[in-house]
Amino acid sequence: MAPRPYYSEPGDRLESVQPVEVSRYRGFTRANHWVTAFSLIELALSGLALFDPALYFLTGLFGGGQMTRWIHPIIGVVLFFSFALMFIQLWRMNMPKPEDTTWVANIGDVVKGREENLPELGKYNAGQKFVFWAMTGLIIVLIVSGVMIWQQVAGHLVSVPARRIAVLVHALSAVAIILVFIMHVYAAIWTRGTLRAMTRGTVTGGWAWRHHRKWLREIASRDNKGPAE
């Protein structure tokens, strides 16, 4: 019986040999990612519109103030369940690994692109794992605090003082998740070749070798063994 993969998932595989392409995300995972991303963007825009009168003009994107107030919590529920599906798929690959500590200790080399000074990595580096777990925690806080201030659903169950605290927690968490999202997008653009993983589902062998060598080694080793092993 083959050992359980440590750095890769069953769907990860080498797509071709010349040139080498590596399958990184299945179609379902990519669709799930984009639903989550667009839900978060819509929540940020509608939430900012409700947060400050200076940003009220953003309600025009959603059909006006009343429509924005109605649709904002609904999109929040969509985000929660969409991210829950992503969590089920990706949580194991985002668990801390021994090399993550070394990666963080050499963050200066990460910023400067000196990959040769960094440890070999599995499917995700420590920065990607931070984004994943930060998103997980913040989305949980946002959905709980959001339901507490959703008057049509829980207005009669939550006291006014508790609702006031929930509003503050919700606003602070929203700012935090927007910052994490911006960092995530910036990193994806900054690391050339990353975006195609979530658009085409594959990355080049060179990209995988440079950024996630343990992941590539495990996939290549597994594929070379064949189904009999």
Residue 17 pLDDT: 64
Q: How much is the pLDDT for 108?
A: 87
Q: Where are the domains of the chain?
A: 13-225
Q: Which class in CATH covers the domain with range 13-225?
A: mainly alpha
**Each residue's pLDDT tens digit, 40-85:** 999 999 999 999 899 999 999 999 999 999 999 999 999 999 999 9
Q: With 70 as the cut, is the pLDDT of residue 171 above it?
A: yes
User: Among 72, 170, 184, 212, which one carries the catalytic annotation?
Assistant: 184
Residue 13 bridge partners (DSSP)? 23
**DSSP string across 159-206:** -HHHHHHHHHHHHHHHHHHHHHHHHHHHHHHHSTT-HHHHHTSEEEHH
Averaged confidence pLDDT in the chain? 89
Query: Is 184 assigned a catalytic role?
Result: yes
Query: Looking up tokens 């000196």, which residue turns up?
Result: 114
Instruction: Quick: pLDDT tens for 152-170.
Output: 888 788 899 999 999 999 9
Per-residue confidence band for 16, with pLDDT thresholds at 50, 70 and 90: low
